[in-house]
Amino acid sequence: MTKILFVCHGNICRSPMARFIMENLVKKAGVEEQIKVDSAATSTEEIGNPIYPPARRKLAEHGISCQGHAARQMKKSDYAHYDLLIGMDQANLRNMTRICGGDPEGKIHLLMDYTDRPGQVADPWYTGDFETTYRDVLEGCQGLLNVLREET
């Protein structure tokens, strides 16, 4: 079983979008017993809040539910619990590494590193462009799933 934690700043836009998109892809691929996913924040700003309404609407446009999401902050113990910790941008990676006390096992990665165009997923909280974020997150999740399926 591969356990993945998607991480962004507040856990109300990018990382929950990644979680629910990946869950959808995993279900369609029939590998729910092999891959489990969750999401978290590096900050405390949104703890307990649901997914941000424009992000929820964007997922709903694609038939993806995000029911029951409540933002939570990443904990140091997540490093031992998860096989991969996937951040959305460089600031996330810095904060994830700080929270975990380093990355001795090489578990911390950027989502877009699983695509043909490595880089960062722009934060739609600031850009207002939830469509581009959706497309980037989908592409990253598809790439990650392909890598995981090649490894099995």
Domain ranges of the chain: 2-151
Annotated catalytic residue within 14, 38, 56, 136: 14
Task: Give the model confidence (pLDDT) of 17-64 as tens digits.
Answer: 999 999 999 999 999 999 999 999 999 999 999 999 999 999 999 999
**Cβ 121 vs Cβ 112: under 8 Å:** yes
Owner of token pair 């962004």: 8
Q: Is 8 a catalytic residue?
A: yes
The active-site residue, picked from 38, 78, 89, 123, is 123
pTM over 0.85? The answer is yes
pLDDT of the residue at 76: 98
C-alpha 71/C-alpha 55 separation (Å) is 13
Q: Which helix (H) or strand (E) holds 8?
A: strand 2-8
pLDDT per residue as tens digits for the range 83-117: 999 999 999 999 999 999 999 999 999 999 999 99
Is 123 marked active-site?
yes
Q: What's the alpha-carbon Rg for the chain, to the nearest Å?
A: 14
Per annotation, catalytic residue among 8, 13, 66, 100:
8
Which pLDDT band holds residue 152 (cuts at 50, 70, 90)? low
- CATH architecture of the domain with residue range 2-151: 3-Layer(aba) Sandwich (3.40)
- Tell me, yes or no, if 14 is annotated catalytic: yes
Give the E-state strand segments of the chain in sequence order.
2-8, 35-41, 84-87, 108-110
Higher pLDDT, 151 or 148: 148
d(CA 115, CA 72): 27
